[in-house]
């Protein structure tokens, strides 16, 4: 285990080729203050530049995964502050999806509002059976408009509207059913199952994984014909890469591939 840069609101460590980013404001239920979001953005950007990291895991300390925005710092501010706050949040979410390494949310407990948005933004998510997910802003007069961008790209429209309009949480099993998480496991196995998923991903070429992650998000909003034109060009360039040639030769030779990361 190797600890790296020290932050105020998060913990960061590497275990082999897996990076762990732990939100560490347990007394605030890991609420996303402006400073907290800036630190998360900085941390994920650093991960994106670290060729020794194959996969990142986002998790939280304390009774909640993440309770969304820090409401205490939002009262009585002006329009400029609110715009800066939500721009910072969007920047953080975009950073998670733009780095080449897949990011897995390890959700041990409730994730609400921007915390639910974080889960939806991560490339993959593993949840404990007791985890819950909600977009409850409507109950305090602040509709979850930015969280709905990410969450509505995971959930069916009618279910998303129900969550937004009622603020009622859904269970981990419902989150699995509707596509918000990949797997639900007993709480005592959450860390083990998340690591197993991360290690499966880390076994492949980091170059190819990064290329594929970028292509996945870019093609999502394209019309199908345009998406195929884009994807065939990506795949053609991928086939020229050293790791693709090595992987194909290893497959034909029935041997493990020796990835070069290029």
**Can you give the pLDDT of all 262 residues of the chain as single tens digits?**
344 578 999 999 999 999 999 999 999 999 999 999 999 999 999 999 999 999 999 999 999 999 999 999 999 999 999 999 999 999 999 999 999 999 999 999 999 999 999 999 999 999 999 999 999 999 999 999 999 999 999 999 999 999 999 999 999 999 999 999 999 999 999 999 999 999 999 999 999 999 999 999 999 999 999 999 999 999 999 999 999 999 999 999 999 999 998 9
What pLDDT is recorded for position 254? 95
Comma-separated ranges of CATH 1.10.12.10 domains in the chain = 206-253
Contacts of 233 (CB under 8 A, 6+ apart): none
Residue ranges of the chain that CATH labels 3.90.226.10: 2-202
Q: Are 128 and 109 in contact (CB under 8 A)?
A: yes
Which CATH code is given to the segment(s) 2-202? 3.90.226.10
Instruction: Provide the CATH number for the domain formed by 206-253 in this structure.
Output: 1.10.12.10
Tell if the pTM clears 0.85, that is, is over it. Answer: yes
How far is residue 60 CA from its own chain's centroid? Answer: 13
Predicted pLDDT at 1: 34
* Residue length of the chain: 262
Q: Do the beta carbons of residue 60 and residue 30 sit within 8 Å?
A: yes
- Tokens 């080729």, residue? 17
Written as one string, the DSSP assignment of 115-179 is HHHHHHHSSEEEEETT-EEE--GGGGT---HHHHHHHTTTS-HHHHHHHHHH---EEHHHHHHHT
The reported pLDDT for the residue numbered 2 is 42
Query: Do residues 180 and 119 make contact, with C-beta atoms less than 8 angstroms apart?
Result: yes
pLDDT of residue 4: 56
69 neighbors 113 (Cβ within 8 angstroms): yes
């Amino acid at each position: 285990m190797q600890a790296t840069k020290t932050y105020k609101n998060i913990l960061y460590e590497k275990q082999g080729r897996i990076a762990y980013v732990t939100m560490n404001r347990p007394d605030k239920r890991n609420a996303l203050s402006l400073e907290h979001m800036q630190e998360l953005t900085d941390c994920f950007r650093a991960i994106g530049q670290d060729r020794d990291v194959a996969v990142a895991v986002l998790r939280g300390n304390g009774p909640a995964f993440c309770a969304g925005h820090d409401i205490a710092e939002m009262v009585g501010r002006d329009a400029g502050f609110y715009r800066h706050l939500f721009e910072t949040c969007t920047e953080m979410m975009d950073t998670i999806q733009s780095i080449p390494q897949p990011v897995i949310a390890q959700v041990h407990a409730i994730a609400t509002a921007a915390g639910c948005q974080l889960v939806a933004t991560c490339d993959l998510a593993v949840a404990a059976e007791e985890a819950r997910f909600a977009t409850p802003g409507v109950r305090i007069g602040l509709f979850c408009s930015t969280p709905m961008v990410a969450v509505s790209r995971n959930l069916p429209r009618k279910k998303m509207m129900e969550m937004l309009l009622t603020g009622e949480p859904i269970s981990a099993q419902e989150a699995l059913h509707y596509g918000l998480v990949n797997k639900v496991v007993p709480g005592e196995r959450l860390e083990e199952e998340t690591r197993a998923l991360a290690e499966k991903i880390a076994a492949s070429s980091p170059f190819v994984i990064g290329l594929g992650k970028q292509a996945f998000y870019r093609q999502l909003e394209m019309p199908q014909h345009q998406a195929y034109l884009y994807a065939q060009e990506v795949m053609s360039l991928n086939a020229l890469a050293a790791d693709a040639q090595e992987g194909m030769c290893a497959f034909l030779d029935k041997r493990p591939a020796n990835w070069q990361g290029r």
